[in-house]
Amino acid sequence: MHTASFSLSSAANNYSLPACICCYFKGLHHSARDFSRAMILKKKNELVEGNTMVMEHLTSLYPQLVEDYRFILDGRRNYQNFEPRYLKTKRVEENELGRYLLAGENFARKAYEVVLDLALPKVNDLISELEKRIEIDHYHGFWLSPERKEIVVGLILKEDKVEHFVYHLAERRWKR
């Protein structure tokens, strides 16, 4: 869970300020694969390797994730078709790169539920909640910590002020 969370967090940061498109898709692929492996291990007590084995188990255990896995794999195979550019949006958007990150988030949400018995909210929902209290210029990234049971949401506020907000998953509330 730690490695998968780290890989997704890396991709989540690379989404808004892509330094390396190949690394973005690699992070998404590794996070989806490792979250899947964690769920398979939890449900079947079986450690699997490789995309084929992961897909076989996803098909029987979590069919709703199969298309997302294929989608992420396709993005990784065709990463050179994407152009890195700085995105200044308030949320992770349903744009060409954002759809992949949202697919990766689906794996994290399901894995946190299955493996850790925690509800991981959608990052866009957390941003919408924060937007009611503060004026957000644009999204910066998010970081998952399964050990601390937290998600940290990074945002750029007005006047280019960077702020990080910590949401405690077990308590289902923002930390002060």
- Please give the helix or strand (H or E) that residue 69 lies within, else none: helix 66-77
In the structure encoding, which two tokens stand for residue 43, read together? 């449900």
pLDDT at position 95 is 85
The number of folded domains in the chain is: 1
Q: pLDDT tens, position by position, for the chain (176 residues)? A: 999 999 999 999 999 887 889 999 999 999 999 999 999 999 999 999 999 999 999 999 999 999 999 999 999 999 999 988 788 899 999 888 999 999 999 999 999 999 999 999 999 999 999 999 999 999 999 999 999 999 999 999 988 899 999 999 999 999 97
Q: What is the CA radius of gyration of the chain?
A: 16
For residue 41, give both structure tokens.
Answer: 């291990």
Residue type at 21 in one-letter notation: I
**Which candidate, 61, 3, 63, places its Cα nearest to that of 32?**
3
Cα separation, 4 vs 137, in Å, equals: 29
Identify how many contiguous H helices and E strands the chain contains and give both numbers. Answer: 6, 4
**pLDDT for the residue numbered 84:** 81
Range of the domain at 94: 2-174
Half-sphere exposure of 124 toward its Cβ, with a 13 Å CA cutoff?
12
CA gap 60, 58 in Å, rounded = 5
pLDDT of residue 87: 80
Tell me the C-alpha distance between 81 and 77, whole Å. Answer: 9
Quote the pLDDT of residue 71.
98
Give the position of tokens 């690379």: 14
Token couple for 157: 């506020």
The sign of the dihedral angle between the CA atoms of 168, 37, 56, 100 is positive
* pLDDT of amino acid 104: 98
